[in-house]
Amino acid sequence: KNEVEQSPQNLTAQEGEFITINCSYSVGISALHWLQQHPGGGIVSLFMLSSGKKKHGRLIATINIQEKHSSLHITASHPRDSAVYICAVRFSGYGNKLVFGAGTILRVKS
Amino acid sequence: DVKVTQSSRYLVKRTGEKVFLECVQDMDHENMFWYRQDPGLGLRLIYFSYDVKMKEKGDIPEGYSVSREKKERFSLILESASTNQTSMYLCASSLVDYGYTFGSGTRLTVV
């Protein structure tokens, strides 16, 4: 069964802290996406990766294909990073459809 | 930048009404998707389309239909709106093997 699990569900951090959000999936994939959704807002695609590591500003995404696990890291967190972060996976043989994790609600306090 | 535009940000409809949600993208993407997002359930795929006049059911198609007469436009239709269809509806488009672009969502309330 194609499943995506994210942890933690909720995360509160102090400004400046290093943050990690985790995503695990059940079977082989062709791509994994990290998405960001601000309250009341649409969804923004942060990263798409199928191997290794990608970095954009203070955001880093890594994936370990053998362990079926990905992490999203935020360095030097800031209150404007407060949002819902969603992991979404395109499973091999599942066409171009995504299966979504339930999301991680991040709140960064100043 | 690719833009995906959803016609309404907020919508209130009565039970039994026929509801049209429109989505337009401006970058010639083949694939378009309709999702609904509910607290605790995440995003669930309703329908998707990989070409004009082509459509496939997603995970929760019951009570919905779609139309894709032109490549840039993908419409979601609620034939007879019910209160359990109150939700946030998100449209997305993509090219194969590329990232997705999402619209800003339509929050539909059925009363």
Write down the mean pLDDT value for chain A. Answer: 92
pLDDT of residue B19: 97
Quick: pLDDT tens for A10-40.
Answer: 999 999 999 999 999 988 888 999 999 988 7
pLDDT per residue over A49-108, tens digit each? 999 999 999 999 999 999 999 999 999 999 999 999 999 998 887 777 888 999 999 999
Q: What is the pLDDT of residue A82?
A: 96
Chain B from 46 to 65: CB within 8 A of any A CB: 48, 50, 58
Closest CA to A19 of A67, A75, A64, A60: A75
Residue in A48, A88, A96 closest to B31 by CB = A96
CB B42 within 8 A of CB A81: no
Instruction: Provide the pLDDT for residue B1.
Output: 64
- For chain B, what's the residue count? 111
pLDDT in tens, A83-97: 999 999 988 877 778
Per-residue pLDDT of chain B (111 residues; tens, 9 = 90+): 668 999 889 999 999 999 999 999 998 888 999 999 998 888 999 999 999 999 999 989 999 999 999 999 999 999 999 999 999 999 999 876 677 889 999 999 999
Contact A41 B105 (CB under 8 A): yes
In which residue are the tokens 């709140």 written? A107
pLDDT value at A41 more than 80: no
The predicted pLDDT at position A1 comes to 67
Is B39 in the A-facing interface, judged by CB distances under 8 Å? no
Is A41 close to B97, i.e. CB distance below 8 A?
no
Q: Rounded to whole angstroms, how far apart are CA atoms A62 and B82?
A: 42
Instruction: Report A:61-90 residues touching B (Cβ under 8 A).
Output: 86, 88
Q: Which are the contacts of A96, defined by CB distance < 8 A and separation ≥ 6?
A: A90, B31, B48, B50, B94, B96
Provide the residue type at A50 as one letter: S
Shortest CB distance from B104 goes to which of A42, A86, A98? A42
Tell me the Cα Rg of chain B. Answer: 13
- Of A45, A86, A97, which has the smallest distance from its Cβ to B101's Cβ? A45
Asked if B43 lies within 8 A of A88 by C-beta distance, the reply is yes
Structure tokens at A110: 């100043």
Indicate the SS3 state at residue A79: helix
Q: Which of B42, B99, B102 sits opposite A42 (nearest CB)?
A: B102
CB contact under 8 A, A45 and B97: no
CA gap A43, B103 in Å, rounded: 7
Give the model's pLDDT for residue B97.
64
Max Cα separation, chain A? 44
Task: Establish if B89 touches chain A: CB-CB under 8 angstroms.
Answer: no
Cβ pair B90:A48 closer than 8 A: no
Q: Please answer yes or no on whether A100 and B42 come within 8 Å at the CB atom.
A: yes
